[in-house]
Amino acid sequence: MKVIVVGPGAFGIKHLDGIKQIEGVEVVALVGRSIEKTQKVADEYGISQIFTSLDEALKIDADAVILCTPTQQHAAQSIQCMQAGKHVQVEIPLADSWQDSLAVLETQKATGKICMVGHTRRFNPSHQYIHKLITAGELQIQQMDVQTYFFRRKNINAKGEARSWTDHLLWHHAAHTVDLFAYQIGSRIVKANAIQGPIHPDLGIALDMSIQLQAENGAICTLSLSFNNDGPLGTFFRYICDNGTFIARYDDLVDGKETPINVSQVAVSMNGIELQDREFFLAIQENRDPNASIAQVLDCYRVLHELEQQLIGL
């Protein structure tokens, strides 16, 4: 299978590292804004072609595209890739508006191409361990308590490099938790509330936010997000259940007393991004809807839209 990766930044590299572990998949082109940076990454990963134009890259022989580009480009580029006859995996978030999310879904339906969104938490072994217990009927979530904390008062990426676009607590980072909450409990979110702190004068976004969710089955979720946190960074999920408490930190899992839980046998890898990519390629081969398809994650963006309407007072 031939794939084009768009975006040689921090997450593009995470996907390139994951794809190296997957047999039968070749990255045939890398697309980036800077020729020098794109060529450097292409050389490191043995990629033969580079482009600075997605339009040109889509003309080559390839089956699929993985988009690791700025949030504001995700919807339009996903539509462009599917209309060019390529399956697409777009990094989270799918879009930064409900209208654009629906437009991508309509294109997916019209083209019949696979469109998968990078909701990595569905694939992390830690969260998969919990999911398997739930589907086996051994566990039921009462509450999820989630902290998403970074120190990003400037436009920098996960590698600490400057970037040209602004990240967003609601449309990007909250999307992980909103989707995971609904996925894990298997119930639609029916109540959602949000408040936010002051708007940053340069970035134009709030750097602190608090979100409450309740599902149709009664389970609740409390999410705290900050770009002001000068301390331990990342996202930490506490699952408070009827039969135990668990804390997930990306691919690692402990119980409520911090005793490590071995999740190495949950999947073929301990790398959530690699597992996400494996699902994308396998779904293409099997011509089926992947986990985290646009249809499966769409309701997350409905909730984000409703929260945004609250925050702007509509």
CATH number, domain containing residue 30:
3.40.50.720
Residue 84, domain extent: 2-119
Q: Which of 247, 266, 285 is the last residue of a domain?
A: 266
Domain-embedded: residue 70 = yes
Instruction: Output the six-digit token pair for 30.
Output: 């890398």
Same domain, 186 and 171: yes
Domain-embedded: residue 284 = no
The pLDDT tens digits of the residues spanning 195-252 come to 999 999 988 889 999 999 999 999 999 999 999 999 888 999 999 999 999 999 999 9
Domain-embedded: residue 214 = yes
Instruction: Output the six-digit token pair for 209.
Output: 């936010």
Same domain, 96 and 41: yes
- pLDDT of 159 reads 67
- In this structure, are residues 294 and 117 in contact, taking their beta carbons and an 8 Å threshold? yes
Q: How many residues does the chain have?
A: 314
The pLDDT tens digits of the residues spanning 130-163 come to 999 999 999 999 999 999 999 888 877 666 777 6
Same domain, 151 and 103: no
- CB neighbourhood size of 58 (10 A): 21
Same domain, 156 and 94: no
- pLDDT of 203 reads 87
Which residues, in sequence order, are CB contacts of 46 under 8 Å at separation 6+? none
Domain-embedded: residue 89 = yes
Same domain, 21 and 152: no
Same domain, 134 and 243: yes
Domain-embedded: residue 197 = yes
Q: Which of 119, 145, 173 is the last residue of a domain?
A: 119
Distances (CA, A) of 150 to 68, 92, 208: 20, 17, 10
Same domain, 133 and 239: yes
Same domain, 49 and 159: no
- Structural domains counted in the chain: 2
Residues of the chain with pLDDT under 70: 157-159, 163-165, 314
Q: C-alpha angle 28/30/31, rounded to 5°?
A: 140
Which residues, in sequence order, are CB contacts of 197 under 8 Å at separation 6+? 206, 207, 208, 209
- In this structure, are residues 255 and 244 in contact, taking their beta carbons and an 8 Å threshold? yes
Q: What is the pTM of this model?
A: 0.94
- pLDDT of 202 reads 87
Same domain, 164 and 211: yes
Percent of the chain topping pLDDT 70: 98
- pLDDT of 95 reads 97
- pLDDT of 232 reads 82
Please, which residues bridge with residue 214 across strands? 191, 220
Same domain, 98 and 154: no
**The domain spanning residue 145 has which CATH number?**
3.30.360.10
Q: Which of 71, 104, 119 is the last residue of a domain?
A: 119
Average pLDDT, the chain: 95
Same domain, 185 and 59: no
Domain-embedded: residue 312 = no
Domain-embedded: residue 194 = yes
- pLDDT of 300 reads 98
Domain-embedded: residue 303 = no
